Amino acid sequence: MILSDFDLINYIKSGRLVVEPFSEDIVRENGLDLRIDGEVCILSNTNAVLDPYSTTTDLSLFYRCFKAEEFIFEPRSIYLATTIEYIKVPPELMAFVELRSTFARMGLSIPPTIIDGGFEGQITIEIHTSTFPIKIRRGTRFLHIVFSKVSTPIQKPYSGKYQGQRGARPPQLPIA
């Protein structure tokens, strides 16, 4: 069951779903529009081999992270971006992350992304860019998050390595 605007407001007012900072203008008909924050990482064009099993991988060879009030997303590139909002999802909910359609119509895309029940943190999202540069300002409503109630509360809520994340986060290595 997908939560409506009425459901979302009640979840937030009850404190079961936390969105900080919260503004009622991010609540949409069937989800929340989260805003892009002022930090991104661009994936580098390199021939170096990223070894996700190594404890000595230098991620600065593969990601260049920076902060700004506006970004020019360069053509045919991949970025990691983060939301202004920090969320806490209760164990009876999960969420689907979608790009707002205006940005998809500009040629941007994101891979399928799920927020697990029990997750808390800012959302880091991978963005694939268009064939032309696109300017985006910090604070722009960028992602649409659709929350769904699971049939029973999740027995093992999310407790992974991205729990509590803040900022645009490259992968945490090594992987298990």
> Structure tokens of 68?
């700004």
Residue-level pLDDT at 55: 87
What pLDDT is stored for residue 105 in this prediction?
97
Separation between Cα atoms, residue 102 and residue 107, nearest integer Å = 9
Between the alpha carbon of residue 105 and those of residues 4, 36, 76, the distances in Å are 25, 17, 15
Position 58 scores a pLDDT of 92
Rounded Cα distance, 36 and 19, in Å: 14
Residues 85, 124 contacting (CB under 8 angstroms): no
Cβ burial 69-92 (10 Å sphere, 16+ → b, else e): eebebeeeebbbbbbbbbbebbbb
Q: What is the pLDDT of residue 93?
A: 97
Q: Which residues are catalytic?
A: 126
Question: pLDDT tens for residues 80-91?
Answer: 999 999 999 999
DSSP-derived 3-state class of residue 59: helix
Q: What is the mean pLDDT of each run of 10 residues along the chain (176 residues)?
A: 97 97 96 97 95 91 96 96 98 97 96 96 97 97 97 91 93 88
- pLDDT at position 153 is 87
Q: Which two tokens stand for residue 91?
A: 């164990």
Domains of the chain: 5-45+60-149 (2.70.40.10)
| pLDDT at residue 127 in the model | 97
Whole-number Å distance between alpha carbons of 85 and 31: 14
* Cα separation, 43 vs 168, whole angstroms: 12
